[in-house]
Amino acid sequence: MSKKNTKYIFVTGGVTSSLGKGIVSASLGLLLKSRGFSVTIQKLDPYINIDPGTLNPYEHGECYVTEDGAETDLDLGHYERFLDSQTSQNNNVTTGKIYQTVIEKERKGDFLGKTVQVIPHITNEIKRRIKILAKQNYDIIITEIGGTVGDIESLPYIESVRQLRWELGESNSMVIHLTLLPYLAASGELKTKPSQHSVRQLMESGIQADVLVCRTEHKIPKEQRAKLAQFCNVALENVIECKDLETIYEVPIYLQKQNFDDVVLKELDLRSDKEADLKDWKHFLKRYQNPKKTVEIALVGKYVSLQDSYKSIAEAFIHAGADLNTEVRLRWVYSGDLTDDNLQETFEGIDGMLIAPGFGDRGIEGKISAARYARENQIPLLGICLGMQIMTIEYARNVLGYKKANSVEFDTGTPEPVISLMEEQKNVVEKGGTMRLGAWKCALKPGSRLYDIYGAKSISERHRHRYEFNSDYKEAFERNGLIPSGVNPETGLVETLELQNHPFYVGVQYHPEYKSTVATPHPLFKALIEATARK
């Protein structure tokens, strides 16, 4: 197979962070894919952490895990959900990874005799990481650069883009600059000056933006659009409006109406006879925005004050709900506030419950109380990762009679360690990248609820955890009705638990939310929503 001439799109941001570069990149990827091009999206993060695996969810939101076990930025979740295709460790690069690689090479003597510097050594490594995805023969690679133009941390990435644009030659790359048009209520107008300054700062680094995507609360008047085009050296049709919308899933359609995909293809000198077909996407959106019924599900977690901490879970409910013509309202419940005295009040009127993943002992007893409440009151419950472990501890204490049952994560001296460490984890000292990560197989028990939900006896799901169900207790749980219905065929580790004689009481050690997309809602989330109707 002959190698394709891969084209590169670089997405930068200005004025302020959190403008939605990830959503714009994912939307563009969807439009280009629907035009017949093979597309992938990459995120370059300027922080010095090797990956977000050790970052506090309050600071950085969710840590998203790929099939090959990379702990990555939550934007990769958007890429997968929009494109319905998998990313990998090569799709998320951090400054930490870049410097680690360069320093390791220096220690091995690869640069012997040379002074190792940001230019060319760091920038060469950044360029190598950007181009590595081209080996998979994509037509187009979209590279989103985190942060904003002018950040000290982003400078090596901006310089690498400048070099790459020159090396790749005309029409083989382009830059999309995402910027903010603030609205001043006092004067009643949108202001273009911050965007002008941002583009000028980009030009000072040697990069001319080809397309401006302007985040705005209001429609951009013609004269403002013309002003931006004139002062920022871009064609008028290359000034794209990105207005605040009710849902991120409207963004691709909003951008398509402005011929965003045509503008990009023209800049890259690409042609496609295929029009962007978003029929299925529009069908999903219509079902999502016009539900026939509503259910309320309590999401019990430790990080609920920053809802991005559970981004993939929230989006998985949207996908599954739309598929079932159901609006899923989430009731965010901080587990640290739960006590036996306020359970009834807190969960009054809910149709279902999800106990979320997490780490550390804060809020654990509240989660255990929530699991007991759902079990005793016949409320459909899905426990994910730590959620399954919580269900295990609760059942051991209140049904099996092991009053001091616990996880060794929370009590190293527990006499009943129903959740424990795998042997190979016991001597692990480093935190980052040392858990059971990525896709692992699971064999499902024929006749079990999960077997029926998946319609398969063998599945593969993504993991991110260190502690496991202690197989020494497997028989006791099975004998008492909480059935280990899924195990890893190679290690024998318990992957799933389900309670008999309950509308829906299922715990999974893996993270099903990572595999839910608009095109393929996850069956477990659909099953939980369906169970709320039978409650």
Residues designated catalytic: 385, 511, 513
Q: Under DSSP, is residue 256 helix (H, G, I), strand (E, B) or coil?
A: helix
CB count in 10 Å sphere of residue 501: 7
Spatial contact of 254 and 242, defined as CB atoms under 8 Å apart: yes
CA distance 298 to 370: 10
Please tell me what DSSP assigns to residue 257: T
CA distance 496 to 443: 10
Backbone angles phi, psi at 518, to 5 degrees: -60, -45
Tell me the sheet residues that pair with 211: 176
Q: Under DSSP, is residue 385 helix (H, G, I), strand (E, B) or coil?
A: coil
Give the residue among 175, 145, 131 at the shortest CA–CA distance from 44: 145
Tell me the sheet residues that pair with 345: none
- The sheet carrying 39-45 orders its strands as 92-94, 39-45, 140-145, 7-13, 173-180, 211-216, 239-243
Give one DSSP letter per residue of 173-241, joined into a string: EEEEEEEE--EETTTTEE--HHHHHHHHHHHHTT---SEEEEEESSPPPHHHHHHHHHHHT--GGGEEE
CA distance 82 to 189: 33
CA distance 426 to 10: 43
Which is it for strands 173-180 and 7-13: parallel, antiparallel or unpaired?
parallel
CA distance 411 to 186: 58
Spatial contact of 300 and 342, defined as CB atoms under 8 Å apart: no
Which is it for strands 293-301 and 239-243: parallel, antiparallel or unpaired?
unpaired
CA distance 366 to 222: 55
Report the residue count for the chain. 535
Give one DSSP letter per residue of 19-73, joined into a string: S-HHHHHHHHHHHHHHTT--EEEEEEE-SSSSSGGGS-HHHH-PPEE-TT--EE-
Give the residue among 508, 499, 501, 535 at the shortest CA–CA distance from 525: 508
- Reply yes or no: is the peptide bond before residue 120 cis, omega within 30 of 0: yes
